[in-house]
Amino acid sequence: MNKLGKMIVVLLFRTNWRKLVFVCGVITIGSVLIQISTLFYPLSEFILPLPTSVSYYKSLQLENVRDGAIVVRLNSSAKVNQSMASSKNEGKELEYRREMNNLKSISVGKHLPSHMERYLLSLKPDEALSFVKKDIENAPLVSGDDPELYAPLFRNISIFKRSYEWMERILKVYIYKEGKRPIFHQPQLTGIYASEGWFMKLMEENKQFLTKDPQKAHLFYLPYSARQLQTVLYVRNSHNMKPLSIFLRDYVNMLAAKYPFWNRTRGSDHFLVACHDWGPYTLTEHEELTKNTIKALCNADVSQWIFVAGKDVSLPQTFIRNPKKPLKNVGGRRVSRRPILAFFAGNIHGRVRPILLKHWANKDEDMRIYGPLPNRLSYPQQMKSSKYCICPMGFEVNSPRIVEAIYYECVPVIIADNFVPPLNEALNWNAFSVVVDEKDIPRLKEILLAIPLKRYIVMQNNVKRLQKHFLWNVRPTRHDLFHMILHSIWASRINQIDQIPRL
């Protein structure tokens, strides 16, 4: 017998076959488990029936099941391809849920874990916003000892803080380059409409939030000035704003024809910032611009059909006299040095101011209510010497006096039915202001005197803490007015997003 035959005989009679079978079985089972672990679903989902919402069998459009055999339509190749795409979506949703669970123990801030950052970068902009929205809705409760944010000023400090941190981390804004000066890209930094100009200036100079790639943008900015639009196109004394509206309609139509981004969302991820009183009325020739675009407007009047509370943003109206020193005269006096109960001075127009003067002008020493301010008096000093600063509407509901009162640490008294206060989605205006119905103007002094001194001191202290959120800084700082406006626009966009991204 040759050597090969002898070796076969030895293996047959001397090998421990039980041990060999056992080892081979262990290796086989281990290999199967490793392969299963790499699939979309865990092992238990192959053993137990799958939930209807994630059923792979359902996505295959099964005809029926006979004797345990799965029967698929013969001409279902397209449906099978569709089911494969569906399975990918389901896998993405599972990955989404895993990442959301990871967020529960993460404080976002400026230190997002690298794996989370890579995951967000792999998503499309709307998917990333959907991911962020879910996390914001489940924001962990924060303590009230944050040195940067004073909790009583906010409706929900936990939601605001989480949302603001996400904005800092991922927000990207694309600014359209189209549009000629002075209507576009030429901010006006002085006067009572300066808010739109300051926002434009700081937005176009920004390096953190801007992107040159529109595919990465979460928001698209229409960089025009309502004030400049009025200055350039309005025919004096014509009482005709239609040419302004037609101009904006044609501008938006040009962008929609040149780029795919407007038509993709019908303008819902686009925003504009307009402080001029006519801002809302210049949009009316373009339906999608009026209804869908996020509008940051000083003229935030809910009685009009243009401003939509909850979607649009009430823009603070700031009167800037010196653009090189926007914070000049900011500050006030302590409570003991405010002998005047209430102060107002201004032109007499609109429906509210004539009533205010009729009841209170030259009627009471505690109520310093004027038309145009007498030359002997200083407007800032009168505000700094008053406990309450009356902020009645003029032709429109908005007034720069609200922010001026905050600058001079005077508790604002807002008299304008249907007005949405600035940045209302984030700020708790009950904590630092008084709102009086127009019909209650005759009872104005009674209403103010009914506020306990302790309550007034709390409100006045809150105004001082609030002040930094309403300041324009040449170089923006965290939580200042530029960032607060941008956050309100960001929050509006977040609220329009579905919770779970689906491709």
- Which one is predicted more confidently, 492 or 114? 492
Within a domain: 156: no
Average pLDDT over residues 14-34: 68
Q: Tell me if 340 is assigned to some domain.
A: yes
Confidence check: pLDDT of 503 > 60: no
Q: Give the residues across from 173 on adjacent strands.
A: 210, 219
pLDDT tens, position by position, 139-170: 988 876 788 999 999 999 999 999 999 999 99
Q: Is the pLDDT of residue 9 over 80?
A: no
pLDDT given at position 107 = 61
**pTM of structure:** 0.80
DSSP characters for 195-227?
HHHHHHHHHHH-SSSB-S-GGG-SEEE--B-HH
**Residues 440 and 491 placed together within one structural domain of the fold:** no
pLDDT tens-place string over residues 398-416:
999 999 999 999 999 999 9
> In this predicted structure, what is the pLDDT of residue 281?
97
87-103: per-residue pLDDT in tens?
Answer: 555 655 666 566 555 55
Specify the pLDDT at position 69. Answer: 35
Answer whether residue 87 is part of any domain: no
In the chain, pLDDT over 70 holds for what percent of residues?
Answer: 77
pLDDT > 90? residue 63: no
Helical (H) or strand (E) element with 173: strand 173-175
* Domain-located, residue 229: yes
Cα–chain-centroid distance for residue 146? Answer: 21
Taking the C-alpha atoms of residue 423 and residue 313, their distance in angstroms, rounded to an integer, is 6
What is the DSSP-derived secondary structure letter of residue 330?
Answer: -
Question: Total domain count for the chain?
Answer: 3
Q: Say what the pLDDT of residue 132 is.
A: 94
Share of residues in the chain with pLDDT > 90 (%): 72
Pair (378, 435) in one structural domain: yes
Last residue of a domain, one of 19, 35, 57: 57
> What does the alpha-carbon distance between residue 411 and residue 306 come to, in Å, rounded to a whole number?
29
Q: Is the same domain home to 346 and 232?
A: no
Q: Say if residue 347 is in the same domain as residue 274.
A: no
Q: Name, in order, each residue with C-beta under 8 angstroms of 173's C-beta and a sequence gap of 6 or more.
A: 203, 206, 209, 210, 211, 217, 218, 219, 220, 221
Considering the chain, what is the average pLDDT of its residues?
Answer: 85
Domain housing 368? 335-470
Residues 463 and 416 in one domain: yes
- Is the domain of 350 the same as that of 372? yes
CATH of the domain at 374: 3.40.50.2000
pLDDT tens-place string over residues 201-248: 999 999 999 999 999 999 999 999 999 999 999 999 999 999 999 999
Same domain, 257 and 381: no
> Within a domain: residue 141?
no
Model confidence pLDDT, tens digit, residues 432-449: 999 999 999 999 999 999
Same domain as 290, residue 267: yes
Same domain, 404 and 447: yes
User: Do residues 313 and 398 both lie within one domain?
Assistant: no
What is the reported pLDDT for 383?
97
Q: Residue 9, class by beta-carbon neighbours within 10 Å (0-12 exposed, 13-18 middle, 19+ buried)?
A: exposed
Q: Is residue 142 part of a domain?
A: no
- Residue 343 dihedral angles phi and psi, to the nearest 5°: -140, 140
Rounded Cα distance between 490 and 172, Å, is 10
Q: Are residues 253 and 364 in the same domain?
A: no
Q: Would you say residue 396 lies in a domain?
A: yes
pLDDT tens-digit readout, 183-202:
999 999 999 999 999 999 99
Residue owning tokens 């409706």:
155
- Write down the pLDDT at residue 502: 40
Are residues 428 and 349 both part of a single domain?
Answer: yes
